[in-house]
């Protein structure tokens, strides 16, 4: 995955889940998060729309 994609996904995770990083930190409390299904749906929609926009440029 490119750095641009990683940055975009991290920003989406920060906005929707308040997750600081998507890097593995080898700690259950840091690597596993309870999130609502509607938050997951919103984040997936945002990522999908971003991908569509980038492909149309």
Give the pLDDT confidence of 27-37 residue by residue, as tens digits. 999 999 999 99
Residue 57 has pLDDT above 80, yes or no: no
Spatial separation of the C-alpha atoms in residues 12 and 46, rounded to whole Å: 8
Residue 14 has pLDDT above 90, yes or no: yes
**What pLDDT score does 56 carry?**
77
Spatial separation of the C-alpha atoms in residues 56 and 40, rounded to whole Å: 24
Reference 23, options 43, 37, 40, 3; nearest CA is 3
**What pLDDT score does 7 carry?**
96
**What pLDDT score does 55 carry?**
82
Number of residues written out for the chain: 57
């Amino acid at each position: 995955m490119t750095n641009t994609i990683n940055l975009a996904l991290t920003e989406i995770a920060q906005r929707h889940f308040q997750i600081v990083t998507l890097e593995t930190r080898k700690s259950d409390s840091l690597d596993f998060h309870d999130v609502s299904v509607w938050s997951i749906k919103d984040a997936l929609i945002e990522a999908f729309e971003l991908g569509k926009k980038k492909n149309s440029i």
